[in-house]
A and B are shown apart, each in its own frame.
Chain A
Amino acid sequence: MEGDIVQMGAYIGAGLACTGMGGAAVGVGHVVGNFLSGALRNPSAAAGQTATMFIGIAFAEALGIFSFLVALLLMFAV
């Protein structure tokens, strides 16, 4: 019984941790959207900034991946 409740809590926690991925999705969309709106205003400067965009995506995505990691840990390690 007690183990069941612990497992239930772990599964609920894993599900809740996945909401963090939604935040990362918003962040990545924000980065790319702002890059595009800037790039369409000044297309000649856009090519030099794609690397910066990918760095921004990577940093925004990292936090979503931490929530994914927490979900994985709750599912398979706890």
Chain B
Amino acid sequence: MASEVQSEGGGLVFQPMDQFVVKPLFGDGSIQWYTVTNVTLWMALAVVAIVVILVLGTARRAMVPSRSQSIGELAYGFIYKMVEDVAGKDAVGYFPYIMTLFMFIVCANFLGLIPMSFTTTSHIAVTAVMAMAVFLSVTLLGFVKNGMSFLSLFWISSAPLALRPILALIEVISYFVRPVSHSIRLAGNMMAGHAVIKVFAAFAGVAVIAPLSVLAITAIYALEILVSFIQAYVFAILTCVYLKDALHPHH
């Protein structure tokens, strides 16, 4: 839609969706699976950020933690407590996976807030891979741990007998919609927030409303910092909820 605005010429010219275009870093060749693109760069930077926080930051193991060490300890304790509270004591063995997901998403989100950077988590391709990985592993885990009785997740024994087939249908649908909502929630929130910032940035070109639009960008940017963290938290907490369903399918 943005390209149509541009082609008409004159007036406000803005491309709020241009920041999400995947481009090769070197040259303008076509994009193959091995091409190094801006997505590759910013994902690698997210991994570097995680290594800096969790490996280098805590390497000294000081009794009085430095700033980076306290961030690492805070994140570790926060996610560990969440896994224990939401998924149960016996799910603590799956804590590394959830910690990995959370740290990757939160670092990618925060790096995407740097001006001129690229938000990798705004692409459904990225989040769908993570959500499908969670969905498949949780489903497999449910069948491995409980055998066929995992299917009792869909058969709600506390409901009246006449209602149970209908409820089972609804439960099955909502189970298979999980990876869709799980991935689109993150990608949609990231994409919408960044696009809104760009839309307000376009209004800054008009001198009369420029101060107002700069104020609005500042406010939305602050909101985006909050949303970046909360969406990573929600992704991790929903993974815990799904994990709890897989470990204890009986209602």
Chain A's interface: helix, strand, loop or mixed, by majority?
helix
A75 (CB) vs chain B CBs: closest residue: B1
**A residues near B238, Cβ cutoff 8 Å:** 55, 58
Least distance between A78 CB and chain B CB atoms (Å): 13
| Chain A residues numbered 61-76 whose CB sits less than 8 Å from any CB in chain B | 61-62, 65-66, 68-69, 75
Chain B's interface: helix, strand, loop or mixed, by majority?
helix
A54 to B82 alpha-carbon distance, docked (Å): 12
The answer, yes or no, to whether A39 is at the interface (CB within 8 Å) is no
- Check B241 against A69 for contact (C-beta < 8 Å): no
Interface string of A21-56 (1 = CB under 8 A from B): 000000000000000000000000000100100110
How many chain A residues touch B (CB < 8 A): the figure is: 13
**B residues near A54, Cβ cutoff 8 Å:** 230, 233-234, 237
A57 (CB) vs chain B CBs: closest residue: B234
- Check B85 against A65 for contact (C-beta < 8 Å): no
Please report A residues at the B interface, Cβ cutoff 8 Å: 48, 51, 54-55, 57-58, 61-62, 65-66, 68-69, 75
Q: Do A58 and B184 contact each other (CB < 8 Å), given the known contacts A51-B82, A75-B1?
A: no
**B residues near A75, Cβ cutoff 8 Å:** 1
- Check B237 against A66 for contact (C-beta < 8 Å): no
A57 to B241 alpha-carbon distance, docked (Å): 13
The answer, yes or no, to whether B192 is at the interface (CB within 8 Å) is yes
A72 (CB) vs chain B CBs: closest residue: B188
Interface string of B77-90 (1 = CB under 8 A from A): 00000100110000
The answer, yes or no, to whether B185 is at the interface (CB within 8 Å) is yes
Of the residues A48, A51, A58, contact of B185 by C-beta under 8 Å: A58
A69 (CB) vs chain B CBs: closest residue: B184
